[in-house]
């Protein structure tokens, strides 16, 4: 084992299975075995720094966070991508990934290796003039367009009230201005090939409506009210972890929300869970089954904790996925993943 | 202390502790009427439920149908409009009685 790998060993915290929300036993009741099947997507969380601090953020990102993906980790991830064409998608997230100084270099090198590079973009960062990564609306738009990255933009609702409740006062108006700029650059426009997908998540302690009905509402309302167009809407369930869990607990609503998720358990959604076909990497190169396990520090384990430095595609498929109570968030109702509903 | 405890709503099914056959019929009818797509969408039904909950001043129903509306994708404008409909119809039921007042006035020779 290399020193780097030894350094990255962590005491993986036990998943929260208490208070009657034992996900593994529910899988057992349904006689479901949820094992890895492939790695279609490599998701990199390159920074926890963000110009916003949203109430639902499972990464607890904020302007005060300083974690940034280290150079050796970036190099190794690029090596993994160029060395194995079975991984088809690079999904770059954060924080606001654009704030990482090596963001542009990462994208420019990755587009040469993978079929698709997705960037989880919070829309407001392009209007943030206080960052030290040179992010501004003109340069970012030109960069996205030139590299034809798929933009996954957070917009919790077409209604200002819901969006600002979750993301902060004034965020909605800035987000609409950003969407209009993206549209002007060709994003979301039919025939342009520049994909703009929006991400919806509920403004409170409730489950999302059907993705199809929400997409149709967003399409109608954003076009009529703001002249904004987009490709698809991804409806995500709020994960009962970290900042959102704190909000639930402060309102004494955690048990009720968890019961709601558990009662809505959908075996089909469990079979389509994203953890079966992706890997998630943190700033230090530690590997997880998903971004939520990353947020909880639940590292993937083979004989040792998995990192990008000891990673092998075929070996990684032999791991047991780490489950916890939060997994009910991905299996409730129509299912939820970084790509939206799963059924 | 209030007679209306939000937790009590979860005990609604206890009504079936006696004459379960009647409770089963009710809950089946209730689910089919409010929670399935038909000529009306689930969201439209949820908004009607929200309006009725206000008209009947039922805290349990207001809790339940607020959540139901949100989970059906209703936005705050739609939900508020539904409550205004209930309010306006409620006001109208009083105001339209003014016609009876006018009739009574006429009968009094006014």
- Cβ neighbour number for residue A268 with a 10 Å cutoff: 12
Pick B70's closest partner by Cβ from A161, A202, A217.
A202
Q: What's the pLDDT score for residue A60?
A: 93
Task: Give the residue among A193, A98, A90 at the shortest CA–CA distance from A139.
Answer: A98
CB atoms within 10 A of CB A339: 20
Rounded Cα distance, B47 and A313, in Å: 50
Chain A residues lying within 8 Å of B43, measured CB to CB: 209, 213
Is B18 inside any structural domain?
yes
Contact B70 A158 (CB under 8 A): no
> For residue B77, which residues of chain A lie inside 8 Å, CB to CB?
159
Q: Determine which helix (DSSP H) or strand (DSSP E) holds A279, and give its type and residue range.
A: strand A278-281
- Closest CB to A209: pick one of B72, B76, B77: B72
Cα(A311)–Cα(A247) distance, integer angstroms: 36
Kindly provide the ipTM of the predicted complex, given to two decimals.
0.78
Give the SS3 label for residue A116.
Answer: strand
* Token pair of A136 as six digits: 């501004």
User: Rounded to the nearest 5°, which phi and psi values hold at A46?
Assistant: -90, -15
Helix or strand run (H / E) with residue A89 = strand A89-93
The end-to-end CA distance of chain B, in Å, is 51
In this prediction, residue B110 has a pLDDT band, given cuts at 50, 70 and 90, of: confident
Phi-psi region of B5 (alpha: psi -120 to 50; beta: other; left: phi over 0): beta
Q: How far apart are CA A151 and CA A107, in angstroms?
A: 12
Check whether the bond before A95 is cis (ω within 30° of 0).
Answer: yes
**Phi and psi for A150 in degrees, rounded to 5?**
-80, 125
Q: Which of A207, A203, A337, A336 is nearest to A259 (CA)?
A: A207
Q: Write the Ramachandran bin of A128: left for phi over 0, alpha for psi from -120 to 50, otherwise beta.
A: beta
* Number of structural domains found in chain B: 1
Helix (H) or strand (E) holding B74: none
**What confidence score (pLDDT) does residue A289 get?**
98
At B66 the pLDDT is 97
Residues in chain B with CB shorter than 8 Å from the CB of A159 are 75-77
CA distance A222 to chain B (A): 14
A300, A318 Cβ separation under 8 angstroms: no
- CB within 8 Å: B76 and A207: no
Residues in chain B closer than 8 A to A208 (CB atoms): 71, 73
Whether residue B81 lies within 8 A of chain A, CB to CB, comes out as: no
Give residues 84 to 103 of B whose Cβ lies within 8 Å of A: none
Q: What is the C-alpha separation between B36 and A75, in angstroms, rounded?
A: 52
Summarize pLDDT for A152-197 with one digit per residue, the tens.
999 999 999 999 999 999 999 999 999 999 999 999 999 999 999 9
Concatenate the DSSP letters of all residues of A292-332 into one string: HHHHHT-B-BSSSB-BTTS--HHHHTTSPPP--GGGHHHHB
Q: What is the pLDDT of residues A27-77, one digit of tens each?
A: 999 999 999 999 999 999 999 999 999 988 999 999 999 999 999 999 999
In this structure, which CATH number among 1.10.3300, 1.10.10, 1.10.3470, 3.20.20 belongs to the domain A3-331? 3.20.20
* Extents of the domains making up chain A: 3-331
**Residue B1 domain-assigned (yes or no):** no
**Residue of A155, A157, A164, A209 for testing the chain B interface, max B β-carbons within 10 Å:** A209
Residue range(s) defining the domain that contains residue B42: 6-107
A214 close contact with B: CB closer than 8 A: yes
Distance CA A241, CA A92 (A): 21
B73: CATH: 1.20.1290.10
Q: What is the pLDDT of residues B45-87, one digit of tens each?
A: 999 999 999 999 999 999 999 999 999 999 999 999 999 999 9
**β-pair type (A287-288, A278-281):** antiparallel
* Whether A290 contacts A39, CB under 8 Å: no
Nearest to A55 by CA among A156, A199, A183: A156
What was the pLDDT predicted at A16?
Answer: 58
Cα A178–Cα A181–Cα A182 angle in degrees, nearest 5: 90
- Give the per-residue pLDDT at B72: 96
Report the C-alpha gap between A257 and A203 in whole angstroms.
14
A50: nearest Cα among A128, A151, A156: A128
Give the whole-angstrom CA distance, residue A173 versus residue A255.
Answer: 34
Which chain A residues have a beta carbon less than 8 Å from that of B70? 202-204, 206
Number of Cβ within 10 Å of residue B76's Cβ equals 16
Across B3-22, average pLDDT: 91
What is the reported pTM? 0.88
CA B110, CA B107: separation in Å to the nearest integer? 7
**Distance, CA of A45 to CA of A28 (rounded, Å):** 31
Question: Which of B43, B70, B76 is closest, CB to CB, to A206?
Answer: B70
Q: Which residues of B touch A207 (CB under 8 A)?
A: 71
User: Is residue B75, in this structure, part of any structural domain at all?
Assistant: yes
Tokens of A310: 């000891």
Tokens, residue A239: 């994960």
A161 → closest Cβ in B67, B73, B76: B76
Q: How far is C-alpha A119 from the geometric centre of its chain's CA atoms?
A: 10
**Residue ranges in chain A whose pLDDT is less than 50:** 1-14
Contacting residues of B for A210, CB less than 8 Å apart: 73
Contact B73 A217 (CB under 8 A): yes
pLDDT value of position B82: 98
pLDDT of residue B1 exceeding 80, the answer is no
Q: Are A331 and A237 in contact (CB under 8 A)?
A: no
B58 in a structural domain: yes
Q: CB distance from A208 to chain B under 8 Å?
A: yes
């Amino acid at each position: 084992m290399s020193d780097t790998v030894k350094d990255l060993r962590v005491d993986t915290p036990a998943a929260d299975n208490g208070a009657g929300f034992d996900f593994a036993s529910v899988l057992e009741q349904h006689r479901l075995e949820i094992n890895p099947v492939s790695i279609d997507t490599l998701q990199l969380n390159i920074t926890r720094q963000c110009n916003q601090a949203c109430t639902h953020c499972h990464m607890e990102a904020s302007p005060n966070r300083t974690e940034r993906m280290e150079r050796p980790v970036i190099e190794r991830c690029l090596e993994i991508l160029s060395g194995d064409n079975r991984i088809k998608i690079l999904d770059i997230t954060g924080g606001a990934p654009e704030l990482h100084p090596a963001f542009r270099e990462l994208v420019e090198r990755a587009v040469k290796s993978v079929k698709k590079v997705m960037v989880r973009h919070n829309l407001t960062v392009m209007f943030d003039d206080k960052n030290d990564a040179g992010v501004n609306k003109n340069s970012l738009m030109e960069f996205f367009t030139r590299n034809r990255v798929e933009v996954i933009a957070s917009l919790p609702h077409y209604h200002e009230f819901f969006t600002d409740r979750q993301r902060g006062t004034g965020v909605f108006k800035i987000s609409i201005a950003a969407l209009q700029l993206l549209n002007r650059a060709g994003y979301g426009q039919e025939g342009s090939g520049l994909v703009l997908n929006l991400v919806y998540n509920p403004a409170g302690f409730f489950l999302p409506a059907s993705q199809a009905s929400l997409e149709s509402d967003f399409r109608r309302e954003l076009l009529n009210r703001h002249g904004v167009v987009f490709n698809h809407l991804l409806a995500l369930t709020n994960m009962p972890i970290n900042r959102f869990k704190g909000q639930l607990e402060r309102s004494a609503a955690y048990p009720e929300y968890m019961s709601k998720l558990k009662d809505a358990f959908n075996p089909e959604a469990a079979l389509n869970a994203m953890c079966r076909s992706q890997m998630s990497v943190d700033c230090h190169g530690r590997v997880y089954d998903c971004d939520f396990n990353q947020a909880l520090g639940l590292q993937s384990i083979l004989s040792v904790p998995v990192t990008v430095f000891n990673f092998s595609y075929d070996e990684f498929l032999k791991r047991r996925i780490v489950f916890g109570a939060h997994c009910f968030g991905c299996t409730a109702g129509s299912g939820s993943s970084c790509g939206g509903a799963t059924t | 202390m209030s007679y209306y405890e939000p937790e009590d709503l979860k005990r609604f099914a206890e009504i079936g502790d006696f004459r379960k056959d009647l409770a089963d019929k009710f809950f089946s009818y209730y689910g089919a009427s409010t929670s399935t797509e038909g000529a009306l969408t689930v969201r439209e039904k949820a908004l009607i439920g929200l309006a009725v909950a206000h008209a009947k001043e039922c805290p349990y129903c207001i809790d339940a149908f607020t959540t139901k509306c949100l989970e059906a994708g209703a936005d705050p404008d739609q939900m508020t409009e539904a409550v205004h409909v209930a309010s306006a119809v409620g006001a109208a039921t009083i105001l339209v009685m003014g016609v009876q007042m006018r009739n009574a006035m006429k009968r009094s020779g006014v």
